[in-house]
């Protein structure tokens, strides 16, 4: 079976990996098209089936021989199958987004939902929200087209949930967010405050929007599980013209999702000098079969001895080089265990880079458990170490997705990390 994906730009896509490496299909092509070429492609393609991504989920419809009732109701198609010489379309994004919201504990019944964007995925989100019983679903766009309101107007609405269907924050333009979530927090009136956020973007795993939600204590889910679910639903449609039965689809989705997550999500160890990040990191990598990288070791390849560099050039010069190493490492390494230097997360740019595709794990140990290294100029005595800890502890606490305290052995730390990680994915 020859399959593929069409879209305007596809550097962010994991679909080829899903279908060829995880689901086991022999061929899945990524096909970038200009808007004027969509019709010609559909008329001439020899693919047995193909998926459709932004911005062609609506544009592709006039060139198909027919679409499912679900796709008609939504007004968008993301999956097309061939039957003889005819092409039929449906919408499996619906299955993916519905599963994402339900698995994420987003209870939309009777609530107000803001849907950011007006494209094909936005249409899907509106349908899902209505089917889940939302009392009000409001679309938001920069131009207020297609019945949407502007972002300025959105700030006046007491939204309970926000779903981002725009590409804002997607690789390679990461680090930006379509909206400021602080505008929707109303602690004085809890019945009107923001309860949850969903971002359909899956690359990076945690967009700036998701990261802000985490910082503010708002439950949030990213689009990786939706991607896995829509692919599994599409697989069934390609084969039979029908969606895979719900229970089987959810079980297969979980396998695809966890496989993708393991390949993409870094386990990032943060904490004070001598807290065991390298030792635990090596043990964790061995336990999980992941690659191990240490930012201090990467730095030493460039600058030699870190203590000598700091003594000769100062801490600020060191932090600048460290930031460059972290930026380079996080853009290249996925599904790894990364041990960081004690001060790495003090810089916001480092925290953002590490968190985009990484789970930050704070190894928190007391001074009585630390062996002080006389070669480290910033923490070579207990007094210096404890003074540093006072400054850094609030940053570690705010940055960490999980915390492992006062472990006795590296294997004990690994046990705790893996147990908590399994419970939160």
Summarised one tens digit per residue, pLDDT across range 341-354 is: 999 999 999 999 99
Are residues 133 and 213 located together in one domain of the fold? yes
Are residues 71 and 162 located together in one domain of the fold? no
Are residues 132 and 161 located together in one domain of the fold? yes
Three-state SS string over 105-117 comes to CCCCCCCEEEEEC
Residue predicted with more confidence, 368 or 294? 294
Residue predicted with more confidence, 393 or 383? 393
Residue predicted with more confidence, 86 or 12? 86
Are residues 232 and 83 located together in one domain of the fold? yes
Are residues 109 and 74 located together in one domain of the fold? no
Compute the average pLDDT of residues 326-346.
96
- Joined together, the tokens standing for residue 400 give 């960490």
pLDDT value for 384: 85
The model's confidence at residue 104, banded by pLDDT at 50, 70 and 90, is: very high
pLDDT value for 148: 95
- CATH number of domain containing 61: 3.40.50.10860
Rounded Cα gap, residues 192 and 213, in angstroms: 16
Contact of 246 with 99, CB cutoff 8 Å = no
The model's confidence at residue 140, banded by pLDDT at 50, 70 and 90, is: very high
Residues assigned a catalytic role:
57
The model's confidence at residue 307, banded by pLDDT at 50, 70 and 90, is: confident
Contact of 213 with 230, CB cutoff 8 Å = no
Are residues 83 and 115 located together in one domain of the fold? no
Are residues 347 and 414 located together in one domain of the fold? yes
Which residues, 6+ apart, have CB-to-CB distance to 6 below 8 Å?
31, 32, 33, 38, 41, 50, 51, 52, 53, 56, 60
pLDDT value for 171: 92
pLDDT value for 89: 98
Neighbours of 380 (CB within 10 A): 15
Are residues 256 and 277 located together in one domain of the fold? no
Are residues 310 and 395 located together in one domain of the fold? yes
pLDDT value for 385: 84
Are residues 182 and 299 located together in one domain of the fold? no
Q: Which domain range does residue 185 map to?
A: 95-222
Name the H helices within 145-207: 151-154
Mean pLDDT of the chain: 94
Q: Is the pLDDT of residue 383 over 90?
A: no
Count of domains in the chain? 3
Q: What is the pLDDT of residues 229-261, one digit of tens each?
A: 999 999 999 998 887 788 888 999 999 999 999
Are residues 99 and 239 located together in one domain of the fold? no
Q: What is the DSSP letter of 204?
A: S
pLDDT value for 371: 72
Are residues 249 and 207 located together in one domain of the fold? no
pTM of the model: 0.93
């Amino acid at each position: 079976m020859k399959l593929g994906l069409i879209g305007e730009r596809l550097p962010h896509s994991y679909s080829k990996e899903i279908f060829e490496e995880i689901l086991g299909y022999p061929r899945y092509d990524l096909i970038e098209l200009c808007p004027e070429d969509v019709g010609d492609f559909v008329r001439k393609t020899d693919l047995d089936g193909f998926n459709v991504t932004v911005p062609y989920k609506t544009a592709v419809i006039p060139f198909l021989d027919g679409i499912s009732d679900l796709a008609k109701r939504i007004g968008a198609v993301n999956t097309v199958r061939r039957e003889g010489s005819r092409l039929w379309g449906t919408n499996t994004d619906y299955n993916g987004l519905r599963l994402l919201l339900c698995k994420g504990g987003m209870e939309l019944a009777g609530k107000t939902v803001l849907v950011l964007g007006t494209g094909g995925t936005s249409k899907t989100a509106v349908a899902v929200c209505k089917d889940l019983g939302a009392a009000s679903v409001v679309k938001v766009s920069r131009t207020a087209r297609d019945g949407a309101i502007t972002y300025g107007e959105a700030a006046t609405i007491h939204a309970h949930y926000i779903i981002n269907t725009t590409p804002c924050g997607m690789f390679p333009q990461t680090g930006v967010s379509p909206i400021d979530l602080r505008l929707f927090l109303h602690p004085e009136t809890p019945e009107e405050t923001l309860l949850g956020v969903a971002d359909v973007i899956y690359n990076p795993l945690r967009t700036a929007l998701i990261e802000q939600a985490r910082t503010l204590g708002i439950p949030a889910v990213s689009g990786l599980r939706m991607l896995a679910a829509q692919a599994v639903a599409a697989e069934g449609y390609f084969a039979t013209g029908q969606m895979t039965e719900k229970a089987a689809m959810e079980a297969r989705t979980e396998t695809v999702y966890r496989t993708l997550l393991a390949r993409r999500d870094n386990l990032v160890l943060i904490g004070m000098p001598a807290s065991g990040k390298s030792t635990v990191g090596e043990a964790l990598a061995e336990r999980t079969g992941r690659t191990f990288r240490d930012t201090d070791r990467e730095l030493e390849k460039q600058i030699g001895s870190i203590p000598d560099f700091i003594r000769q050039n100062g801490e600020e010069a060191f932090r600048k080089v460290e930031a460059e190493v972290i930026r380079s490492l996080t853009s290249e390494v996925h599904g790894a265990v990364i041990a960081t230097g004690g001060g790495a997360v003090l810089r916001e740019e480092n925290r953002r880079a590490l968190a985009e595709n990484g789970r930050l794990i704070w190894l928190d140990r007391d001074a009585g458990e630390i062996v002080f290294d006389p070669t480290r100029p910033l923490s070579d005595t207990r007094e210096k170490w404890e003074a540093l800890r006072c400054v850094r502890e609030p940053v570690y606490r705010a940055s960490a997705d999980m915390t492992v305290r006062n472990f006795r052995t590296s294997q004990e730390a690994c046990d705790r990390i893996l147990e908590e990680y399994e419970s939160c994915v």
